Amino acid sequence: MTGITDFGELRRAMAENSEEPEGPARNARAEQLLAEAEKLDVPLAVIEALGHQLKVYNYSSEKDKMFVPFARLLRMWDERPEDFDEYEVHSLHWVFKWVSSGMLGQPHIPLASIEKWLGEMEHRYRLAGHSERAVRSAEFSVASHVGDLARAERAYSAWLAADRDTMADCHACELHTQGEWQVQRERDGEALELWGPVLEGEFTCAHEPHTVLASSLAPLLRLGRAEEARANHLRGFRLVRPMESMRGAYADHVEFCALSGNEARGLELLAERPAYFTDSGNPRSALDFLSVVALLMDRLTDLGLGDQEVPGPAGRTWTAGELAVHARAEALSLAARFDGRNGTKHIGDTARARMDQRPLVERLPLGVRSAARPVAAPVPAAAAPEAVPEKDLTALLSEARRLSDTLQPHAVEAWLAVSRAAEGVELSARDRAEIADHQAMDRGPEGIALFERAAELFAEAGDPGEALAARARGAYVRALTGEVDEALAAIGTPYDEVLALYSQDGTGVRQTAAVLMSRARILMRRVHGESPDDSPGPEALAAAEAAVREVLALVEGHTGDDVRLAARGAEGQAMLAELAVRTGDLETAVRLFSKASTAFVAAGLPWFAVEYEARLAGLAHHLGDITEAERALRAALEHGGPYLEAPGRAQLHLQLAEVLGGRGRSEEAAEHALEAAHWSDEAGEGPTLGAWARHQLGGFLLRQGRWAEAAEVLESALPDLSAETHGDGAVVQTQWWLGDCLSELGEHRAAAERRLQAAEIARHWPEQNDHATLAHLAAESLGHADLPAEADRAYERAGDLWRTLGNVHGLVRSLRARAWLALRADRGLDRARELMAGAVEECEAALLVTDDQEARQRLTGELGHTHRQFGELLARSVAEEAEDTAIRAAFEDALAETAESVTVFAALGEGAVHTRTAAELAAGWLEADLSRSADAAARARGVLKAYEGADDGDETVRSRRAEAGQLLQLMEEQKDK
């Protein structure tokens, strides 16, 4: 490495190193720069290099290294204060605070030394004329650290009472510490109120709102404000992730995961930072981290996952149970060192309380990609006892019959319990028939033979109707396997026999309806088995409809309190709805699905209505009845209640999110997309349905301006989104939205990368407008990222695309942007003029061939803006130190372009009054600079005249009047001179 030869080069090198990521590499470079500074024989160079070294140590995992450079700086100050400039004097006193807090975090430094240092700080601040505010804040930190509550309260009050001066921490940092004290005193609400201005972005700094967002998580959960906690986790973790020095804040996010049912995400966070287990430069943050590791591992152990492999200290593999023991022991060992130094039990008590917390929320969906919640291996069921008391079996039978007779969920499971309990017990044929029948239902296609066995037992029990119903059920299961013709053949005999029995009063309506419904279901399977590309044949449709109407005719008037018959009638209406869909009569289908759903709910079976409300929602959406679609989806979720399985719940929430999003209700849509993402993960469909839900959620968050949350969710969705599964449009849209978020967050280089990736995919699409737009947006991001050459190439690419598409506005804007870039680059003014002139020519050429009046209006406005920017560019092109003749020539050219923009805007009439007056004032200021007072004053009066009688409540009107008045007054003062 070539040595540094002058002070300026050293300063540039330190500035560059300051921009590097926190960590040992940056610290090592600072050490090299100090060695280079010492060779320059410039005392201030050494002072600045020591200050730089101290700063990077403080913001790293090697915080313990900062005491040596500070001691050297302090000695240099005491020996030769004249070597320090004003900035370094301020910096020296400022880092007293870092050293004070840094000592607290190092248990090997005696408390007496810290107290002595506090006195030294107070003495030096008094000599320098500083307020006591920073000193009392430091004293408060010492007292609260050791648990001296009375002293802490006194110091806290004195801190807040002292005047703020240049040594006081920034507002954001002060509020963070004040809020932490309220949390320590179990006043969570007061803490959040103090943190409000930081959370809302009113006060920020290099490490805020990072730490406030992290500190707010547990208090928000304790207060039941889980939605805010989730948002702060997504916002805050994004800020903390790249900053090595923020292990304590990182620990807060791990703690949040352990307390909110997000154990899997907590493990992912641990895996991202393996060095945090062993970094020793800041023992206090190590204690925080190890405490929450113990908390998370204990939580996993409580869930029965103590043997699961987890991330841990390097060098070996760890199970959750092993790491729980290790982390707790390490944390308590560190706490004991602090308490031994402090002479109190405060740190140990605090650590134990943190490790022993219980979850505050059963499961808080986050929306980001994560493994499903860890689930313990099932415990094998104990073998059934050899004999079950008869009264217990009788109770099980009674409960199973009650559940199945009323079509309740879990009826099959109740019969399985009966089956297990009945092993080795002598039962009646009827009991054995019912057990076999329900076992068959549970086994699906494998249960067809069991249906036959159940039929034999029902016949043996003297119930021929139920025997025929069992055979019919077996026939329907055969249809479900695809053997529709065989099923129709199998249902023929039971159908004929049950009708004969019923006509002779040999069986009841319920048994007859069961057979008829099985036949109707088989015929419906034949309808659905037709090719989806073709309408089912009229014969199949007619047969199915006749079968369904036969069921409805049978049960009509017989339902009463019979839940089974009521369900047959409701299902029949739903079947007719399906047939109406197949024939294209969607309005009738909607009516019939609604009738079926209402009937199920009226029968006390709302969970059966879920499927039909969902179908109804899809049809209503297709027919443009969005209100009905929304109602049906909400009803489906409500009717499903706790019985909805995860995949179905995910689908319904996602559909509702899309409907609400389409109606502009992005906040509520985001809530349902969040639920959809959560239930998709629970269903094991995170990479498919879950990725789509996260894609949607990110878009809804973006619409609300929640950029950081949206970015986290969209970044989380991208690894699973694929053109094959979700379509390349979804991938492009996600990248596009993510680029927008990153741009709003000031991450311009990353935004450019996302936009360029999206543009590369869109490049292959037949329609190229999206490609052009993304290339243009990427160019904007590259420009903001201070990459002018790359930005120019991207704008040129966008311009070529706009030209091909015939989009003059896009082309003109790309040329203007390139002109501004050229002005900053080596090519300078000539190239900038050429590009801006090209933009003017494109507008003028388009106006010559455009007859559409609306298009002419827009193009005229574009031309006006181009002349205006041309004038501004020319005015800015000349340096302040240039010769008067050069400045005057540039301003003359700028005035000509600006005046032309006034003329163009004037042609647009009253609709362009604001843009015209803005250009008029710009021209007026140029004329003032050219010493043409009368012309400048005339322009100011023209602006005031344009707004005579205008609404003074309009901010633009007020601004224009004020600026015109200012220009007019200045010109009149110059005239008087």
The predicted pLDDT at position 531 comes to 45
CA angle 487, 490, 492 (to 5 degrees): 110
Can you tell me the mean pLDDT for 340-357?
Answer: 97
The predicted pLDDT at position 385 comes to 37
Q: DSSP string of 298-345?
A: HHHHHTT-TTSEE--STTS-EEHHHHHHHHHHHHHHHHHHHHHHHTSS
pLDDT of 387 above 70? no
Q: Which of 179, 169, 252, 255 is nearest to 206 (CA)?
A: 169
pLDDT of 378 above 60? no
DSSP letter assigned to residue 277? G
The predicted pLDDT at position 974 comes to 78
The predicted pLDDT at position 825 comes to 77
371 pLDDT band, cuts 50/70/90, is low
The predicted pLDDT at position 406 comes to 87
Q: Which two tokens stand for residue 865?
A: 């803006």
The predicted pLDDT at position 383 comes to 36
Q: CA 839 to CA 829: how far, in whole Å? A: 15
Can you tell me the mean pLDDT for 17-37?
Answer: 93
The predicted pLDDT at position 559 comes to 67
Greatest CA separation found in the chain? 123
Helix (H, G, I), strand (E, B) or coil at 883: coil
CA angle 704, 707, 713 (to 5 degrees): 100
CA atoms within 13 A on the CB side of 719: 9
389 pLDDT band, cuts 50/70/90, is low
Q: What is the number of other CB atoms lying within 10 angstroms of the CB of residue 115?
A: 12
Q: CA 224 to CA 283: how far, in whole Å? A: 32
976 pLDDT band, cuts 50/70/90, is low
What average pLDDT does the structure give for the chain? 92
Q: What is the number of other CB atoms lying within 10 angstroms of the CB of residue 209?
A: 26
Q: CA 869 to CA 882: how far, in whole Å? A: 22
124 pLDDT band, cuts 50/70/90, is very high
Which pLDDT tens digit goes with each residue over 668-684? 999 999 999 999 998 89
The residue type at 33: L
Q: CA 718 to CA 247: how far, in whole Å? A: 27
744 pLDDT band, cuts 50/70/90, is very high
488 contact partners, CB below 8 Å, separation of at least 6: 475, 479, 522, 523, 526
Higher-confidence position of 268 and 973: 268
Q: Which of 537, 670, 619, 657 is nearest to 234 (CA)?
A: 670
Q: Which of 311, 277, 228, 368 is nearest to 717 (CA)?
A: 368
* Range with lowest mean pLDDT among 374-378, 743-747, 955-959: 374-378
* Range with lowest mean pLDDT among 303-307, 711-715, 908-912: 908-912
Strand partners, 208: 205
374 pLDDT band, cuts 50/70/90, is low
Which pLDDT tens digit goes with each residue over 252-274? 999 999 999 999 999 999 999 99
Parallel, antiparallel, or unpaired for β 309-310 and 318-319?
Answer: antiparallel
121 contact partners, CB below 8 Å, separation of at least 6: 96, 97, 100, 134, 135, 138
CA angle 362, 213, 21 (to 5 degrees): 120
Which pLDDT tens digit goes with each residue over 309-339? 999 999 999 999 999 999 999 999 999 999 9
Spatial contact of 320 and 297, defined as CB atoms under 8 Å apart: yes
The predicted pLDDT at position 189 comes to 97
Which pLDDT tens digit goes with each residue over 549-565? 999 999 988 767 789 99
Which pLDDT tens digit goes with each residue over 826-857? 657 889 999 999 999 999 999 999 889 999 99
Which pLDDT tens digit goes with each residue over 197-218? 999 999 999 899 999 999 999 9
952 pLDDT band, cuts 50/70/90, is confident
Between the alpha carbon of residue 730 and those of residues 200, 337, 661, 691, 717, the distances in Å are: 32, 54, 16, 10, 10
Q: CA 137 to CA 101: how far, in whole Å? A: 10
Question: pTM here?
Answer: 0.85
Percent of the chain with pLDDT over 90: 83
DSSP letter assigned to residue 383? P
Highest-pLDDT range among 418-427, 749-758, 879-888: 749-758
Q: Which of 504, 98, 512, 102 is nearest to 285 (CA)?
A: 102
Q: Which of 815, 846, 844 is nearest to 832 (CA)?
A: 815
Percent of the chain with pLDDT over 70: 96
Can you tell me the mean pLDDT for 715-723?
Answer: 94
